[in-house]
Each structure stands twice: as structure tokens, then as C-alpha cells.
Amino acid sequence: MSTSPFPARLEKFVTATTGRNMTKAAYVAVTCGVAMMVLLTVEPAYSALHAGVDALLWACLAYFVFEWVIRLRYAARTGHRSAYLFSFRGIVDAISALAVPVALATGSNPKSSWLLGMFWVLKVVPGIRGLRQLRRVLVQESGPLLSVLVIFLVVLFMASIAEFYLEHDVQPMAFGSVPAALWWAVATLTTTGYGDVVPITPLGRIIAAGVMICGLGVFGLWTGILATGFAAETRRDNFLRTWEYVSKVPFFASLGSAAIADVTQMLRTIDLPARTTIIRQGQSGDCMYFIASGEVEVDLPGKKVALGEGAFFGEMALLGNSLRSANITTTRVSQLLVLDLVDFRLLMARHPDIAETIDAEAKRRVLENK
């Protein structure tokens, strides 16, 4: 059996590239490839740098072909080849790897062939979390969105018929048919208003004014539906993520589901890199922290204390003296749950057992730090 480190490194690469997000190398390749395609269309720049532009384009293509082959091999080995091939990511990977070579092989103009590299941009789509959220919103709000679409189409078609009837005699070139009038209706209802086709009869202008107002209303409804859906989805994601963090904190392990849900509504999460100062001595305290993951270091007089996952800190400023008594810094990447002063008091009132635990821990730390 080979002892070369190459298989292990290849396995690591496979694991990274078959994950939900793209690797940094893939982002660099997409950015570089798009930039080179732009230079390809600028004749003076391409004439001066054609060797470098061509080399970078070929390098990007080679990377995408290699990435596709590796993912295909991994999918076949795990028994998911068909699922990968017909997934959005699999189709994009295949097009990214094959579109340019196939075009070049069939004798297409090289510059035109390289422009098929525009499909490389689609490789960033699976890694954008907001797009997955948008898809969920569109599915959940499909009923209201389709209802507004029907209103849009009804107004569009009726306005086109009306303007054709009123304007086709005085403007036969612009409104000579219903399809021709549709161009005006689309430009007006979307509030684009190119101005290349406009009604000139009094009644035609009145209808046009109504269509403009309807356009504002239709797009206002779409915007409101999507904004409300995004807000609800964001709240849901934040609640689920905070719930997951809360359930991992041993301090809350004894709470029931209703109590955890109550606590989750109050807490907010923050992600901090290593060596980040969270609390400075002497500052006014208005919140306390629970460590969901990671570690922090408390800088006390004459010693330093490390607090790990499940611990909490910052409560002493909320129970008595409002000034912070020590500097606290993260020692590694950490996820913290933050409880603000108002919510802290509300939580203490609702859950006396939590209040007793926090108070006992605060007294223990006071005695320990003397």
C-alpha cells in the first residue's frame, strides 16, 4: 500500500469541495476567470496581455475540470452519482467543465467559446446562504405571490386591449396590434417608462395613468410579501440556531422545552474570533454571557481563569455593582449567548431556580477572587 501523502490530501480536498460551500480556491478561480473574460472583450488590453489572459483562462478551466472529476469520483464511490449528476450543483459543475472545451472542439470562434465561461459564475450560487433562504420564502409565499402575478397579468392584458382600441387608428405603427400594445403596457406597468411609445388620445392617457398607479401597487405588494417572508424566515433561523446553542449549555440542561423556548426568545448569539476583548474592567455592565462553544480568559489580579463551554460570566455587574470587575478575552473562536439587563431581570423573575444558581455562582466567585 502506498504511503504517499497524496491520497490523504486528495481525500481532504474531496471532503471540502463536496460540502455545501465552495472552497476558497474555487472562489479565486471564478473571480479570475470572469476578470479574464472581461479583458478578452477589450481589444487593446487583450492584444497587450493575450498570453497571460489565455494562460489564466486555461488554468481556471483546468481547475473546474479537475474539481468536477473529483466530485464525480467521490459521488460514484459513495453511491450518489446519479443524485449528484442531476442536482443543480452537478449540472453547473458539468457545464463549467465541458461548455468551453466542447465549443472549441466544434470549431467555434475562440473568443466566443471562452465567453461560455459565464456559467462559472453559477458555481457561487450553492454557497450563498441567502439564496437558499430566498427559495424557502418563495415556496412558503407562493400563494400570495401568484395572486399578485395574476393581478399583474390581468391589468397588463386589459390595458393592452384598451390602448389598442383607443390608439390604433391614430398611431397604427405603435398600437397596430395587441402584441404591439403589450410592449407599451409592460414598460408602463413596470414603471420603466421608456417613452418610445405613448398614448396621445385623452382617454388613452387616463388609462395610462391608471396603469402607472397599478404598477406601483403591484410591485409594492410583491415587495411587502417578500420582505415579510424574509423577516419571518430570519426570525425562524435565528430562533432555531439560538435554541441549538441554548440546548448545548449545561446551565440550561435541566430546563423543560417551554422554559428553553422562553430563554431562547431572550438570548442573542454572537460569534467572536480568538483574542477578542469582550469585557473591559471598569466599564458599565448591561448584559451577561453564556459560552455555547469556545473559551474565554478572565484576567483577575494575580491570576487568569479560563472559562469553557457551558460557563457564564458578566452576571456580577447585573446583580450588584454595575461596573465590570475584570478584563475578559476569547482564547479561541467562540460562540456566545448574550442576555441583556432587561431580559436578565425578566428571566430571574420567571425562573427563580436560575436566579438562585446565578446568585450562588456570583457569591462563590466573589469569595474566590478575594
Note the pLDDT tens digit of each residue in 264-286: 788 888 889 988 999 888 888 88
Q: What single-letter amino acid sits at 257? A: S
pLDDT of residue 20: 42
Q: Higher-confidence residue: 156 or 265?
A: 156
Alpha-carbon distances of 265 from 101, 159, 258, 313, 347, rounded to whole Å: 54, 49, 11, 20, 11
**Whether pLDDT at 5 is above 50:** no
CA-to-CA separations, 3 to 11, 14, 218, in angstroms, rounded: 14, 19, 65
What is 255-368's CATH superfamily?
A: Jelly Rolls (2.60.120.10)
For the whole model, what pTM was predicted?
Answer: 0.62
Please report, rounded to a whole number, the percentage of residues in the chain having pLDDT higher than 90.
Answer: 29
Q: What is the Cα–Cα distance from 304 to 315, expressed in whole angstroms?
A: 18
**Domain 142-233 grouped into CATH 3.30.1490.20:** no
CA distance 145 to 154: 14
Name residues whose C-beta falls within 8 Å of residue 245's C-beta, 6 or more positions apart in sequence: 267, 269, 292, 293, 335, 337
Per-residue pLDDT tens over the stretch 80-132: 888 888 888 889 999 999 999 999 999 888 888 998 989 998 888 877 777 77
Which of 148, 49, 141, 131 lies closest to 92 in space, CA to CA? Answer: 131
Distance of CA 322 to the CA centre of its chain: 38
